[in-house]
Structure 1
Amino acid sequence: MDLLSIQFWQELALKYGAPALALNAFIEAIFFPIPPDVLLITLCLAKPENAFLYALIATIFSSLGGIGGYFLGFWGGKPLAIKFFGETKVKKVHNLYDRYESLVILLAGFTPLPYKVFTVTSGVLYASLKKLFIFSLIGRGSRFFLEALLIKRFGEDIVNFLYKNLNIISLLAGIGIIIIFMVYQKLKGRENEQKEVL
C-alpha cells in the first residue's frame, strides 16, 4: 500500500495507536505530507475517552519534529542560502523573520499553512529555536485539542464537518490571531511612546 495513502495511515493508527500518531506528527513537521490530523481523528473516534491524550501526543511530537525541521534548515539550508544570496541578504531576511517569528509559527501551527515549510525556514534563517518550540506547542496544541474536543463532544457526526471545514475554520482563526497580534503591537507601541514622554 502507498505510504502517502491516507487509508494506509488510518489503518496504521488503528493497529499501532499512539506510537503511529507520534511518528506521523514528528516526521510531518520535517518533510512528510500526511498531516497528523488524519491519525488523530481516527484514534479519537476509536477511543474518545483518550482523545485529549492523543491530542497531547500529537502536540508534543509535532513540536519536537519542528526542532528536527529547524536543524534540517540550519545545517542544510542556511549554508546554501548564504552561498546563493550572500550573508548580508540572509541577515536582513533573518531580522525581518525574527521580528514576526512568533506570529508566523503560531499561524503555521494552527492554520492549513504547511507547517514543515516554516520549521525548516526558521532554521535557514537561524531564528529563535526557543520561540519555535514554544509557539509550536501553542499553535499545534490549539489545533489538535480543538479537534479532540469536538470529536469527544459530538462523535462521528462531527468528522465529515471537520474534514470539509477544518481548514476554513483554522484560516478564519488565523486571521483572528493576526488581528489580535496587530492590536497588541499597536497598544504596545503606544505604551512605549507614553513611557518615553514621561
Structure 2
Amino acid sequence: MWSSHRFAGLWLTVVSFCEAIFFPIPPDVMLIPMSMSKPHLATRYAIYTTLASVLGGMIGYGIGFYAFEWVQQIIINWGYQTQFDKTMIWFEQWGILVVFLAGFSPIPYKIFTICAGVMQMFFFPFVLTATVSRFLRFYLVAKLSAWGGEKYAQKIRKSIEIIGWGVVFLGIIGYFLYQFFK
C-alpha cells in the first residue's frame, strides 16, 4: 500500500505544497489513507500537510501579487475563470474572512492564494489565517480518518465537503449578522 511507503510523508508534503499553487488534486486523497494506515501519525501528517500548503499558499500569493498577468491565461485554460471571478468578489466583500473560509471550502485553494496576492492583502494576516484554517481542516480530516478507518473512508470524504460548505455558509451568515448589528 502506497500510504505506508517510507516516502509517503514526503510525497504528501510535495502534493500539499503544489496543490496550493497549481496541482489539481487536493492532499486529502493522500492524507486520508495515510492517517488510516498509521493512526498514531495522523496529527503529524496534518501538520506536514498544513505547513506545506501554507508555504505553497505563500508562493501562490506571490504569483498573484507579482505575476498575475502571466498566470491569468493558465486560469482561463484550466477552467478556473468562473471560480476566480467569484473569489475576487468575495475578497472585495469579506476580506480576510475569505482566507479562513478557503481553508475549509471545496473550491481549489490555489484560487484563493492567487486572489489574495492580486488583492494585495496584508501578507502576515493572510499567512496566519491560512495556517489556522488549513490546520483545522487537515487535522479534522486526519483524525476522522484515523478514528474511522477504512470502514468510514467514503463517508469522511463526503463529510469534509459538507463541513467545508457548512463553514462557508456560517461565515456568510456571520458576516451578514455583523453588518446588520454594526
TM-score, structure 1 normalization: 0.74
Give 1 or 2: higher helix fraction: 1
In the TM superposition, what whole-angstrom CA distance separates every residue of 1:46-100 from its partner, at most 9, and x where no partner exists?
Answer: 111000110111111101111000111111116999xxxxxxxxxxxx9x83662
In the TM superposition, what is the alpha-carbon distance from 1:12 to its structure 2 partner?
A: 7.2
CA RMSD of the aligned region, Å?
2.5
Alignment map for 1:54-133 (pairs within 5 Å) = 54-77=45-68, 97=91, 100-133=94-127
Note closer, same or farther for the CA distance 1:125–1:186 as it changes in structure 2 (3 Å cut).
Answer: same
Note closer, same or farther for the CA distance 1:41–1:130 as it changes in structure 2 (3 Å cut).
Answer: same
Larger Rg: 1
- Higher RCO structure, 1 or 2 (CA under 8 Å, sep 6+): 2
Q: Would you say the 8 A contact 1:97–1:125 is kept in 2?
A: yes
Q: How many angstroms apart in 1 are the aligned matches of 2:128 and 2:93?
A: 15
Q: Would you say the 8 A contact 1:73–1:120 is kept in 2?
A: yes
Note closer, same or farther for the CA distance 1:23–1:79 as it changes in structure 2 (3 Å cut).
Answer: closer
In the TM superposition, what whole-angstrom CA distance separates every residue of 1:90-132 from its partner, at most 9, and x where no partner exists?
Answer: xxxx9x8366221111111111011101101111221111121
TM-score, structure 2 normalization: 0.80
Q: Runs of 5+ in structure 1 lacking a partner?
A: 1-9, 82-93, 190-198
- What percentage of aligned pairs have identical amino acids? 35
Q: How many angstroms apart in 2 are the aligned matches of 1:80 and 1:159?
A: 35
Aligned to 1:141: 135
Q: Secondary structure at the match of 2:107?
A: coil
Q: Secondary structure at the match of 1:110?
A: coil
Q: How many angstroms apart in 1 are the aligned matches of 2:45 and 2:9?
A: 7
Number of aligned pairs?
167
In the TM superposition, what is the alpha-carbon distance from 1:144 to its structure 2 partner?
A: 0.7
